[in-house]
Structure formats: C-alpha cells, structure tokens
Amino acid sequence: MKYQRPKGTADILPNEATQWAAVESLAREVFKKYRYQEMRTPMFESFDVFSRTSGETSDIVTKEMYDFFDKGNRHITLRPEGTAGIVRAYVENKLYGPEIQKPFKTFYMGPMFRYERPQSGRLRQFHQIGVEAFGSDSPALDVEVVTLAMALLQSVGLNSLKLSLNTLGDNESRQNYRQALIAYLEPHEAELSADSKERLHKNPLRVLDSKDANDQKIVADAPSILDYLTPAATEHFTQVKEYLDALNIPYEVDSNMVRGLDYYNHTIFEVMSDSKAFGGKWTTVCAGGRYNGLVEQLGGPETPGVGFGLGVERLLLILAAEGIDLNEQHDLDVYVVGIGAETNAASLKLVQALRQQGFSADRDYLDKKPKGQFKAASKANAAYTLTIGQEELEQHKANLKNMANGHQEAIDLEQIYTDFGQAEAILAEKEN
C-alpha cells in the first residue's frame, strides 16, 4: 500500500459517518434545550495557549503536543483539547463584555490532536464534544453542566454510567493540601514508583492517580483533599452535592480523582462507562470541572468557568459494543430501470422528478441489463421500481412495481412527473 493514513488517524466511512452524524445531531438537540450555543475555533493555536493553561509539567505539554514551527517560525500546536482555545476566543472577542448575558454558555465539537501511541479508542486525531459556561460561580451551574453531560450520554441511549465527583478546592485549599500531601509522601519517597517520585514535588496530586499497585497502597492512607478545604470551598462542594441529591442524580465521591490539566479547581467530575467496549473496566468517556482562573490566565478579566469534554470515539465504541444503532434506515423509494440507451434521458427525468417531489430515487449508470438493474434495486431495498423501455417510451408510460409483492402496473409518465404519491395509490388499488 503506497499511501496510507497517518498513524493514529481514522477514515470515517459512510457506514460509520451516519452514526457520527446521529450523535452530533442528538448532542445539538440537547444543547439547544440547555441553551448552549456553538463556537468554532481554529484547530491549531499558538503553542503558548496550551502550554500556559495546561501546566508546563503536564503530560499533555511535555509529551503529547502535536506541535511544529510554521513558515513564519511561529510555534503552533494542533489543539490537544477544546477548553483553552474556547477561552482564548472568549477573551480575544471580549465575550465577557457587559452586553453579553451571563453565564455565557457554549459548546463545540471537532477534532483534537495528541501525539501518543494509538490504541482502540485512542487516536492522534480524535474528536471531542464539549461545553463551557463562563461567568458564574454558582454551584448550580456546576450541576447544570453535570446534568448536561449525563443528558447527552442518555440521549444516545447509554444508561450504565457512573458519575464520579471530587473537588480540588480553591487555591488556598490546594496549597494547604499540597503541603500536607508532600509531607505525607516524602517519608515514602524511596518506595514510590519512578513516575511518582518525579511527580512528588512537581505535581504531588498526580501521585494519587498512580496505577502502580504499591503506590496505591501508600496513597490509601494519604490525607484527603476533603480535609483541607477552606470553608468556602467546602461550601461550594457541599452545595454541588446537595443539588445533585435534589435531582436524584447518583454520584460517587472519589477524593483521589485528579486532573492531568492544571487549570481545574473546585468541582471536577467524570462520567464513566463499564461497557464491554473496554473489557468491562470503568473507563472515562466524559470529564469536566471548574476552572475559575483560566480566563484571567489568558488575559481576560476574572471570570469563573466550568465545562466538560466528551470523547466521541469512545462514545461510538460503547454504542457499538452495546448494539446501539442510531441510524435511521433510509431505504430507497424508487429505482428506475431503464432498458436501452435511448431511455437514458427519460430515466434521468424520472429520478429528477421523483427527487423534486421529495422521494429518494436512483438509477443505473453502468448500462446494466434489466436483470442486473432489478438486482441492484433489490439490494438497495427499493420500495418500488419504475421500468421504462422502448415500448413504454412510445406510450408515455412506465411500469411501476411494488418490490415487496411483485405487483406491477403501467402508469402514465405525466402522473409520475406531477404526483408520484397518486401513482403509488393507483398501484395499491389495483393490487386489491
């Protein structure tokens, strides 16, 4: 094979594309109800947009950025996630302005890029659907975003989901906790895995997230962030939980849950699936949280924000594993069988007329014999065929055949041109 797609990319073929389109269209419906409006930002941004916001030591920045220098020697990055670009656009276009109602609620969908080893459900170009809401500190908004994430997944037919919740607190909580955590971990430093040793001082919270069995043992007795929250942070988290309870939305507090991105604070959450698509292991399909300092960090006014991102490929994998097919079957209404080259124009006129009347219509373009054309019609699941040959041409008629029962009747071309629905009725009547 001479040409092949770049590593970690995928061709989405017609069969699959309909499923994608269905997911996107269901998402749009949900967003409409929640009043989130679409934004489309560039697929690449200045490297700094991501390096500043994600955290210089984050894995995304240190090893997963798909970056390059363009011909103007600008350091460019293919966006690894959606939030930073949206925030950049929010600031650059002054969407924080007084004339814009708050919270400003927006969604996006599109490709993201991370330079990493592909596996199923993990690609170098993958797709996310995400939302962001700016301008309100209210825990009620956190909860709206959570419910939106759940609603989105439910709208495509998923029910076996788990909502995992945690808080990172505000800056002060985090600083206090960080110190406590380092103090706890340092005595164990020698026992920690290499990765965790590395993170101990750079980003100790990430140690909590370690998959290493021994690390987990150590971490099991580590202090909890929940014990270091400031009263304000506690209050925020408590309210989030209360509102979720009020909505009867079950959740699990996982005080070890952290974020690979540095910009999060307060509420963070993940929606996980235990679908067989991932071998029954709980896998995150949707992750989000609050990021109150981010807008400021990118040069805007102090503006709180909260949002989530959802991995489309993962969602599609789950749908496939659960046997959920969102495609509406659009079978062919009419297949026009033309016999002889001299019927070419007439066949075109027929399909054209049918299409203009709102029917789906197709015909042969390979000079197939009638038998082959009927086969094609059958394969396309055509409801009717319309056969036209020399004889019909002369009589200004065409043979309309109901493919389900084989009944056939000659119908005036004029009738088909003006009202095919009536032609269907005529055939149905003759059948009885």
Which of 149-157, 159-167, 308-316, 416-424 is the region at the interface with RNA (rule: CB under 7 A)? 308-316
Please state, in angstroms and rounded to a whole number, the distance separating the CA atoms of residues 126 and 313: 7
Nearer to RNA, 138 or 402 (CB): 402
Q: Where do the DSSP E strands lie in 32-173?
A: 37-38, 44-46, 66-69, 75-78, 104-113, 125-134, 161-167
Nearer to RNA, 240 or 287 (CB): 287
Residues 49-68 that bind RNA (CB under 7 A): 58-60, 64
In the DSSP assignment, the letter for residue 342 is: G
- On whether the CB atoms of residues 289 and 266 are closer than 8 A, the answer is yes
Of 246 and 404, which has the nearer Cβ to RNA?
404
- Among 279, 328, 341, 358, which residue sits at the site for RNA (rule: CB under 7 A)? 279
Q: Is 212 in the site for RNA (CB under 7 A)?
A: yes
CA end-to-end distance (rounded Å), the chain: 57
Binding to RNA by residue 260, rule CB under 7 A?
yes
Number of residues that bind RNA (CB under 7 A): 71
Using CB under 7 A, pick the residue from 156, 218, 261, 416 that binds RNA.
Answer: 261
User: Is 368 a residue that touches RNA (CB under 7 A)?
Assistant: yes
Among 137, 195, 322, 362, contact with RNA (rule: CB under 7 A)? 195
Q: Could you say whether residue 372 binds RNA (CB under 7 A)?
A: yes
Instruction: Give the shortest CB-178-to-RNA separation in angstroms.
Output: 16
Interatomic CA distance for residues 170 and 232, integer angstroms: 8
- Cα–Cα distance between 295 and 308 in angstroms, integer? 16
| Contact flag: residue 424 with RNA (CB under 7 A) | no
**Coil, helix or strand at residue 98:** coil
Residue in 156, 161, 319, 339 binding RNA, rule: CB under 7 A: 339
Interface with RNA (CB under 7 A), residue from 353, 389, 412, 426: 389
Closest among 81, 46, 49, 77 to 288, alpha carbons compared = 81
Select from 45, 67, 333, 392 the one that contacts RNA (CB under 7 A): 392
Tally: H helices and E strands in the chain: 16, 16
Out of 214, 238, 390, 422, the only residue in the binding site for RNA (CB under 7 A) is 390
Dihedral class, residue 111 (left if φ above 0, else alpha if ψ from -120 to 50, else beta): beta
Integer Cα distance of 68 and 344 in angstroms: 53
CB contact at 8 A, 339 and 354? no
**Alpha-carbon Rg of the chain, whole angstroms?**
29
Please report how close the Cβ of residue 98 comes to RNA at its closest, in angstroms.
32
Q: Which of 325, 391, 414, 419 binds RNA (CB under 7 A)?
A: 391
Residues 109-168 that bind RNA (CB under 7 A): 114, 116-123, 126, 128
Which residues partner with 252 through β-bridges?
164
The region of 42-50, 159-167, 217-225, 402-410 touching RNA under the rule CB under 7 A is 402-410
